[in-house]
C-alpha cells in the first residue's frame, strides 16, 4: 500500500499539472491542483489508503481532451505494468468512450485496452479489438502480433498461418520456421482425425516452407515408418541428425527401430559407434551397450560400459552399468549395487533435461513451442546429463 501511495502521489500532481495546463490553454477558468476539491478528495482517499476511490477521483478530475489523453494512457499503462489490470481496463475503457478523441488517439487507446485484456486472459475481447485495429490500418503490426499469440493459444493453426503471412508482408521478416510448425500442427490434427492424405499435404507444405524443420522431417520419417518404408525413415532421420545434432536424442529411437525392422543390426552398430564418438552423451552409448549385450553377451557389454564410463561418464550410463553388474555379481556386491540404484534413479528423475535457449525455461519433456516465452524450436535436450561436479 505504501508503494502504491508513492506511485500515485506524482500521478496526482501530474493530473493537477495537466489539468491546469489544459485549462490555461483554453483560458477556461477552472480551479485545479491544490484548490480543486476533487484533488483534495483524491488525496484524502490516498491518505486513508483507499486507492480505488483515489484513482476514480483523479480520473474524474482529469478531463479527457486532446491534451490529457497521453496522461490517461500513461496512467493505464502504469497499472497494467504493475499487474493491476482491472484498473488499467477501467481507465482505457473510460478513454475510448469519449467522443473527443482523434482517430490516432482512439487507436492508441484500443491497442492499450487490447493489451489489458490479453494480460487479464480475456482473449475473446482482445481479439475483437485487435481485429478492429487491423481494419483501421493503425498499429497494425502490434495488433497482428497479438492476434498471433491469441490464435496460437486457441490452436487455430490456419488462422496463425494467415496472420504470419500478413506480418511477413508488412515487416518483410520471414517467419518460415514458425509457419512450418503451423503446418506440422495441421498435419498432426489431420492424422489424428484419420485424414491421411490431408496430413501428407500439410507435411509437404511444412517441408516446402522450411526444409530444415526437424519436426517436419521427423513426422515425415514417422509417416514413412507407418507405411512400412523403413528405408526412408532411416535415411530421413540420419540426415536430420547430421544437420541438427541437438535433436539426436529425439530421433534416435526411430532410427534404431528402422534399422531393426530392416534387420541391419551390424549397420546400426557401426552407426551408433560413430554417433557415440561424434556426440558423446546424446544417448547413442546406451543403445550401443544394449546392442553389444544382445550380440555378444553381458560380459562384453560390461567391458564396453566400463570403457565408456571412463571416457564419457554419464548418469544413464552409470545406471545401466549398475543394472548389468547387479545381475552378474553375487552376495555383498549385489546388495551394494542395489543400494546405489535408487539414488542414481532419483538424480536422473530430479533433473529437468530440456531447456529453452531463449528464456531458460526447464522441462522434463520436449515442447516445440516454449510455454514460457512462446518461441518455437528453442527447447532442446541438454546435450550431456552429468552428475554435479
State the DSSP string of 77-95: HHHHHTT-HHHHHHHHHHH
- How many residues touch Zn ion under the rule CB under 5 A: the total is 7
Closest to Zn ion by CB, 244 vs 372, is: 372
Among 207, 361, 376, 385, binds Zn ion (CB under 5 A): 361
- Point out which span in 170-178, 240-248, 338-346, 368-376 binds Zn ion (CB under 5 A): 368-376
Q: Is 376 in the site for Zn ion (CB under 5 A)?
A: no
Closest to Zn ion by CB, 47 vs 373, is: 373
- Point out which span in 77-85, 139-147, 288-296, 356-364 binds Zn ion (CB under 5 A): 356-364
With the C-alpha atoms ordered 382, 384, 385, 386, is the resulting torsion angle positive or negative? Answer: negative
Q: Is 232 in the site for Zn ion (CB under 5 A)?
A: no
Q: Is 355 in the site for Zn ion (CB under 5 A)?
A: no
With the C-alpha atoms ordered 76, 81, 85, 87, is the resulting torsion angle positive or negative? Answer: negative
User: From CA 252, how far away is CA 265, in angstroms rounded?
Assistant: 14
- Point out which span in 51-59, 177-185, 281-289, 359-367 binds Zn ion (CB under 5 A): 359-367
Closest to Zn ion by CB, 18 vs 361, is: 361
Among 359, 363, 366, 383, binds Zn ion (CB under 5 A): 359
CB of 147 to Zn ion, least distance (A): 21
- Cβ burial of 25 (10 Å; 0-12, 13-18, 19+) is exposed
User: From CA 200, how far away is CA 205, in angstroms rounded?
Assistant: 9
User: Which positions ≥6 away from 204 have C-beta within 8 Å?
Assistant: none
User: What angle (nearest 5°) sits at the alpha carbon of residue 273, between those of residues 272 and 277?
Assistant: 110
Do 260 and 268 form a contact (C-beta atoms < 8 A)? Answer: yes
Among 74, 170, 278, 373, binds Zn ion (CB under 5 A): 373
CB of 207 to Zn ion, least distance (A): 25
Q: What is the DSSP letter of 133?
A: H
Closest to Zn ion by CB, 203 vs 356, is: 356
Q: Is 358 in the site for Zn ion (CB under 5 A)?
A: yes
Residues that bind Zn ion (CB under 5 A): 356, 358-359, 361, 370, 372-373
Amino acid at each position: 500500500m505504501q508503494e502504491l501511495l508513492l506511485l500515485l502521489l506524482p500521478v496526482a500532481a501530474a493530473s493537477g499539472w495537466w489539468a491546469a495546463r489544459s485549462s490555461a490553454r483554453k483560458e477556461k477558468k477552472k480551479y485545479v491542483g491544490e484548490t480543486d476539491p476533487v484533488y483534495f478528495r483524491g488525496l484524502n482517499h490516498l491518505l486513508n489508503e483507499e486507492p480505488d476511490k483515489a484513482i476514480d477521483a483523479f480520473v474524474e478530475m482529469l478531463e479527457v481532451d486532446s491534451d490529457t489523453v497521453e496522461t490517461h494512457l500513461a496512467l493505464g499503462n502504469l497499472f497494467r505494468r504493475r499487474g493491476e489490470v482491472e484498473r488499467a481496463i477501467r481507465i482505457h475503457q473510460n478513454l475510448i468512450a469519449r467522443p473527443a478523441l482523434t482517430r490516432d488517439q482512439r487507436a492508441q487507446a484500443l491497442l492499450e485496452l487490447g493489451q489489458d485484456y490479453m494480460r487479464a486472459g480475456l482473449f475473446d475481447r482482445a481479439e475483437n479489438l485487435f481485429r478492429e485495429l487491423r481494419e483501421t490500418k493503425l498499429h497494425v503490426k502490434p495488433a497482428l502480433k497479438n492476434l498471433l499469440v491469441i490464435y496460437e493459444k486457441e490452436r487455430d493453426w490456419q488462422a496463425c498461418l494467415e496472420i504470419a503471412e500478413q506480418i511477413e508482408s508488412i515487416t518483410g521478416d520471414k517467419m518460415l520456421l514458425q509457419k512450418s510448425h503451423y503446418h506440422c500442427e495441421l498435419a498432426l490434427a489431420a492424422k489424428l482425425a484419420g485424414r491421411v492424405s490431408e496430413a501428407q499435404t500439410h507435411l509437404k507444405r511444412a517441408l516446402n516452407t522450411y526444409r530444415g524443420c526437424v519436426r517436419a522431417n521427423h513426422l515425415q520419417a514417422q509417416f514413412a515408418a507407418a507405411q512400412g518404408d523403413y528405408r526412408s525413415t532411416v535415411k530421413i532421420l540420419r540426415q536430420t541428425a547430421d544437420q541438427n545434432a541437438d535433436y539426436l536424442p529425439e530421433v534416435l529411437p526411430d532410427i534404431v527401430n528402422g534399422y531393426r525392422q530392416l534387420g541391419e543390426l551390424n549397420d546400426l552398430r557401426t552407426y551408433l559407434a560413430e554417433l557415440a564418438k561424434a556426440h558423446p552423451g546424446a544417448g547413442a552409448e546406451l543403445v550401443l551397450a544394449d546392442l553389444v549385450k544382445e550380440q555378444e553377451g553381458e560380459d562384453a557389454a560390461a567391458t564396453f560400459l566400463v570403457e565408456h564410463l571412463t571416457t564419457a561418464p554419464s548418469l544413464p550410463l552409470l545406471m545401466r552399468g549398475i543394472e548389468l553388474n547387479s545381475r552378474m555379481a553375487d552376495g555383498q556386491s549385489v546388495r551394494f549395487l542395489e543400494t546405489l540404484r535408487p539414488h542414481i534413479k532419483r538424480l536422473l528423475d530430479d533433473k529437468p533435461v530440456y531447456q529453452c535457449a531463449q528464456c531458460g525455461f526447464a522441462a522434463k519433456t520436449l515442447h516445440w513451442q516454449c510455454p514460457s516465452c512462446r518461441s518455437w524450436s528453442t527447447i532442446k535436450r541438454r546435450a550431456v546429463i552429468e552428475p554435479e561436479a
